[in-house]
Structure 1
Amino acid sequence: MAALGAGRIGKIRAASVAANPKAKLVAVAEPFANAAQLVAEAYGAEPMTDAMAAIARPDVDAVVIGTPTDTHVGLMMRAVELGNLTTPIGRFGGVLSSLGTHIAG
């Protein structure tokens, strides 16, 4: 699995994956390299600065998204295109309407 984002929510999502004995966190993607490094090192994962590259890794079959809300749809769509599972997002309203627009358009 890859954790996308290493801010407040990204750290929580990465910790949840790392705590699950049925999951393996292999990458943490965050545009701020220092933040990616800190979270990745805490859980034995590889730090990355490109979320799309993390989603495309051959060893990633699922992602957890802890990035700013306006990035969720693009990340979710890319993960789905590659056959990866994604996590539910907390603020469904805006994300779902954006997702519907993205799919329709």
Structure 2
Amino acid sequence: MGTVSTRLDSQARSIFDDLGYTVSSDGDEITAERKWRRVHVTPMAEPAEVPSSGRYRCFVTREGNCRELERQLRRRQPNYDWAIMGIDETGEYEVYTTKTGW
């Protein structure tokens, strides 16, 4: 997995905290939990190898990396629901795309 910038990591934590999730860290990944849902949040400064397992995953990356990360996920076709969240230089975010049944 790619190197995570501290800023991207803290932005991802803040976003999920603001959305009402209980947020904890596990190495380079963040776990966000709310009600029955447990989402593995992977901050990714640059598109890198995606995890091969999970149930719900959200990849948080820079806005300019969303398209390449989506291509990688669609090629790989992992057996989990996923979303990509792009963050711009001002810290604003947008859900770029999903392959999900959430």
Question: Which bracket does the TM-score occupy, shorter chain normalised?
Answer: 0.3 to 0.5
Q: Which has the higher helix share?
A: 1
TM-score (norm 2): 0.46
Q: Which has the higher strand share?
A: 2
User: Which structure's relative contact order is higher, taking Cα pairs within 8 Å and 6+ residues apart?
Assistant: 1
Larger radius of gyration: 1
